[in-house]
Amino acid sequence: MSLIKLEEVSKLYGFGDATTLALDEVSISIDKGEFVAVMGPSGCGKSTLLNIMGLLDRPTHGTYKLQNRVVERLGHNRAAKLRRDTIGFIFQSYNMLPRQTVLDNVALPLVYKGIGLTKRLKLASSMLERVGMQNREYFYPTQLSGGQIQCAAIARALVNEPSIIIADEPTGNLDSAGSRLVMELLSEIHLMGNTIIFVTHNPDLTRYATRVVYMRDGRIIQDESTNLGEIAETAKKRLYKVRTKSVEDDLAGVSLLMKTIPDKTEAALSRRNKSKRRDSKKTGGRS
């Protein structure tokens, strides 16, 4: 039985001529305990998909079953409660309340569950300890590094003990050390039985995932299972072996994945030539 099951889900934005198709009849089912990475170029509908899965947004068409319950037309309050109890969010921009301490931020979901002040601060504190942030409880988000804020955000996502964690580019604003910290934390959570769905542009991070979903123009173009610790095959192929963009592409702002793969031999030759030239220059300089 799948935990999340989307059937031909579409999402349209705007009216008339300005209509944009963000999701185009996407069907996917995710089982309990999966660690799913969603990849694809900007604007391909990854975030929209996650928002719909997280009940932050509603699909225009199609059905969505969460824990075998049809939820796409759920009332505001029911959706809010279901979101509160089953889903934890991690955002690229952290989305912490700047005027509240880290502890208060982490305790926020418990406020809406109606848990008393002392108890919720205790729970939040123990959750911060779990992510290694206990000595930063009374700091304000602005006083922390990106990685630390994201760890606190993970603590907030976990504090209600949700079964699903949805992370929209959790490492997007972080350096490699911060990214690793966050991903290690997520994989720990995964090992404890949580289902994690995250969006990333970084193919390296697919080594944490058990499944990689590739999207393009609002559709899922590939769905691949991978082993933990290994970079997904498609990601390797598509992202590592693809030649870099040309200068013209850069100027036109064409994204890496949008670009059709250039002729391998031609690109390889030009690169080799370039490196040769550089070498000869160096040697010439010495002599």
Partner 1 sequence: MSWRNGHIHTAIATVRSNRWLSFLTMLGVIVGVASVIVIVGISEGVKNEITSQVNSFSKNVITVQSKVDNLSSFGVAQSPAVSTLTNQDISSLNKLHNVTAVVPLVILSGLAQGDKTYHGGIIIATTQDLPKVLNQSLAFGSFFDTNETSSDVAVLGYNAVAGLFNEKIPLGYSFIWRGQAFIVDGVLNEFKTTPFSNNTLFNNTIFIPTGALQQLSLMNNASIFQILIGVNKSKNLPAVDKQITAILLRNHGGQKNFSVLLPSQVSQSNTSILNLLATLSIGIAAISLFVGGVGIMNVMLMSVTERMHEIGIRKAVGATNRQIMSQFLVEAVTISVVGGIIGIVLAMLTDLALRATTNLTPSLNWRVIAVGALVSMLIGIIFGSIPAVRAAKKEPIEALRNE
Kindly state the tokens that stand for 261. Answer: 């793969």
Stretch that binds partner 1, among 111-119, 123-131, 186-194, 277-285 (CB under 8 A): 111-119
**CB of 124: closest distance to partner 1 in angstroms?**
12
**CB of 114: closest distance to partner 1 in angstroms?**
4
Among 112, 177, 225, 278, binds partner 1 (CB under 8 A): 112
β-strand pairing of 69-70 with 61-66: antiparallel
HSE (side-chain half, CA atoms, 13 Å) at 156: 28
Give the footprint of partner 1 on residues 31-60 (CB under 8 A). 51, 54, 56-57
* Other CB atoms within 10 Å distance of the CB of residue 283: 9
Q: Which residues of 28-55 are buried (b: 16+ CB within 10 A; e: fewer)?
A: bebeeebbbbbbbbeebbbbbbbbbbbb
Q: Which is nearer to partner 1, 47 or 206 (CB)?
A: 47
Our finding on whether 109 is near partner 1 (CB under 8 A) is: yes
Strand order in the sheet with 219-225: 87-91, 164-168, 195-199, 35-39, 211-216, 219-225
Among 14, 20, 42, 99, binds partner 1 (CB under 8 A): 99
Stretch that binds partner 1, among 36-44, 60-68, 114-122, 175-183 (CB under 8 A): 114-122
**CB of 267: closest distance to partner 1 in angstroms?**
39
Crossing angle of helices 176-191 and 146-158, in 10° steps, is: 20
Among 148, 160, 195, 200, binds partner 1 (CB under 8 A): 160
Q: Which is nearer to partner 1, 21 or 267 (CB)?
A: 21
Among 156, 190, 211, 216, binds partner 1 (CB under 8 A): 156
Residues 150 and 92: beta-carbon distance below 8 Å: no
What's the first-to-final CA gap in the chain, in angstroms?
71
Angle in degrees, CA 245, 248, 250, rounded to 5: 55
Among 16, 114, 253, 285, binds partner 1 (CB under 8 A): 114
Tell me, residue by residue from 74 to 93, as one string, x for binding to partner 1 by CB under 8 A and - for no binding: --xx--xx-xxx---x---x
CA distances from residue 81 to 76, 78, 85, 155, 197 in whole angstroms, order as listed:
9, 5, 6, 19, 20
Distance CA 245, CA 270 (A): 13
Among 6, 30, 38, 115, binds partner 1 (CB under 8 A): 115
- What would you report as the CA-atom Rg of the chain, rounded to the nearest whole angstrom? 22
Q: Which is nearer to partner 1, 3 or 115 (CB)?
A: 115
Our finding on whether 116 is near partner 1 (CB under 8 A) is: yes
Our finding on whether 12 is near partner 1 (CB under 8 A) is: no
Stretch that binds partner 1, among 1-9, 106-114, 129-137, 205-213 (CB under 8 A): 106-114
Question: Residues in the site for partner 1, rule: CB under 8 A?
Answer: 51, 54, 56-57, 76-77, 80-81, 83-85, 89, 93, 95-97, 99-100, 108-109, 111-117, 156, 160
